[in-house]
Structure formats: C-alpha cells, structure tokens
Amino acid sequence: MSTTNAYLSVRGIDVDVIYKDIKHLHIGVYPPLGRVRIAAPMRLDDDQVRLAVIQRLAWIKRQRDKLRAAERQSEREMVTGESHYIWGIRRRLTVIERPGREHVEIDGARLLLYTPLGTSADKRRECLDHWYREQLRQVIPDLISKWERELGVSVPQWTIRRMKTKWGSCNRETRHLWFNVELAKKHPDCLEYIIVHEMMHYFERHHDERFTALMDRHLPDWRQRRDRLNEAPLGHEQW
C-alpha cells in the first residue's frame, strides 16, 4: 500500500498524518501526551485534513483530558519496588531512610533515593523531580552548542519545566526554548530530537513541508526518534 506522510499544526495541536489508499479518515489520540495521528484517504489534501481536525477538536481535547487524568491517577507512591526510568532504562526504586539531606543515586539496576525517616511521598517526588532536572541540565548545554554550530543560530535562553501536552516549545520572538522534564526518562536520542525540532522553529513556525524538509536535511532519522519518544512508557509501571 502506498503512503505519504505529513506533519501539521492545527490550532496549537501537532498532528501526524499518513495518507493511505483507504476510504475514510481516522483520528486517534495516543498516550502519554495525547499525540494525534490521522490516517487519511489519498484523495484528501492538507487543508481538508485540517478542517476534519477542527471539526473534531472538542473530541480530541476530551481524549487528551482523559489521558492526563489517567496519568495523575497512576502517580507512584515513591516506595521501594516501583520502577522509574532514566535515559530510557528502567530502574528499580530503593528508598533508604536515614538522617541527612535527600538525594538520588544510580546503583546498577537500582535507583537509590536517600531520604530522612518519615518523608512524605510528595517530598520524595519533589526530590526525584529535582534530580531529573539536574540530569537534563548536565546534557542539554552540549547538545544545544552542537546544533547552534550545525544550524548557524544561537539559543539565548532555555528552561526545563513540566508540560502536560508537549515535549518542548519555542517562542520565535524571544527565541526561548522550553523542554519537558519527562525527557530525562527517555532515550538520549529523543532529547536531541526535541532540541533540534524546537530550534528548527527559528526557521519555520509551522509544521509544513519546509519544516519537514529542514528536519530531513539536518536530522534524517528524526521520524524514528519521534516514534521512539512517543511510544516509550513514562515509567509509572510497577515491577
């Protein structure tokens, strides 16, 4: 079956489109962050697909809300035995209660969380979140420098924050980039993909043919990286 891929942005929602030899258009919203994928008949063009997305916008937003609710419900209790991911590798959490400052270490297949006796689950989560941010801060500068040289641009400011529906974002006016803290749980190739993706918005605002061509030229395997990013678990599974 012949197929053609497109990458659209509709009212702030990124949409992956696959044009196939099919009769009807199908829209899906997928975890973890509500990625929208469309299978569309070859006879339709991008504008017709955009219209279909607009017509189903309320449904798409409801599905995204359900995914976010499910994510909140699956939040871990931060106790020994749970699994958490770092750079795409699942590690077993071991909580060690002892006097002193909270901190996190990697020990083989284990993720060690040192915490004072009686520390709440929220405080433990806060400690782990801080550690994830530090992991990103250690690697993002070198990746940005690499791609500043490759693309001939400069990134004046970047920030790590928790985002509900995006892995990253770019303000074209200030050139400020934001990265989702959850990227620390993913394979490093995924982080580099997001960095390149957001920097590419310096050249093109929309996810149109020019944007896709730029990505193809500078990061030829970006689609594989994107799929790896969106299909990997967020790390809330129990062992």
Dist. CA 78–CA 68, nearest whole Å: 19
Bridge partners (DSSP) listed for residue 158: 177
Answer yes or no: is pLDDT of 224 > 50. Answer: yes
Tell me, what CATH number does 147's domain have?
3.30.2010.10
> DSSP label at 175?
T
Within a domain: residue 116? no
Residue 143, Cβ density class (10 Å: 0-12 exposed, 13-18 middle, ≥19 buried): middle
Within a domain: residue 25? yes
124-138 pLDDT, tens digit per residue, is: 999 999 999 999 999
Instruction: Identify the pLDDT of residue 227.
Output: 84
Q: Crossing angle of helices 188-200/222-231, nearest 10°?
A: 120
Answer yes or no: is pLDDT of 235 > 60. Answer: no
Give the residue numbers spanning the domain of 151. 122-231
- Is the separation of the CB atoms in 199 and 143 below 8 Å? no
Instruction: Identify the pLDDT of residue 33.
Output: 77
Q: Using DSSP bridges, classify how beta strands 4-10 and 13-20 pair: parallel, antiparallel or unpaired.
A: antiparallel
222 shares its domain with 141: yes
Within a domain: residue 167? yes
Dist. CA 40–CA 25, nearest whole Å: 4
143 shares its domain with 53: no
227 shares its domain with 128: yes
41 shares its domain with 142: no
Hey, how many other C-beta atoms are within 10 angstroms of the C-beta on 117? 7
Does this model's pTM top 0.85? My answer is no
Within a domain: residue 87? no
Within a domain: residue 115? no
68 shares its domain with 140: no
Q: Tell me what the pLDDT averaged over the chain comes to.
A: 90
Q: Using DSSP bridges, classify how beta strands 103-107 and 110-115 pair: parallel, antiparallel or unpaired.
A: antiparallel
- Is the separation of the CB atoms in 210 and 54 below 8 Å? no
Instruction: Identify the pLDDT of residue 71.
Output: 63
51 shares its domain with 133: no
Within a domain: residue 56? yes
Instruction: Identify the pLDDT of residue 75.
Output: 67
Residue 72 to residues 68, 75, 207: CA-CA distances in angstroms? 6, 5, 30
Bridge partners (DSSP) listed for residue 30: 35
Element (H, E) at 29: strand 26-30
Domain count, the chain: 2
Instruction: Identify the pLDDT of residue 237.
Output: 34
170-190 pLDDT, tens digit per residue, is: 999 999 999 999 999 999 999
53 shares its domain with 139: no
Q: How confident is the model at residue 150 (pLDDT cuts 50, 70, 90)?
A: very high
Instruction: Identify the pLDDT of residue 1.
Output: 60
Within a domain: residue 221? yes
42-93 pLDDT, tens digit per residue, is: 999 999 999 999 999 999 999 988 887 766 546 678 999 999 999 999 999 9
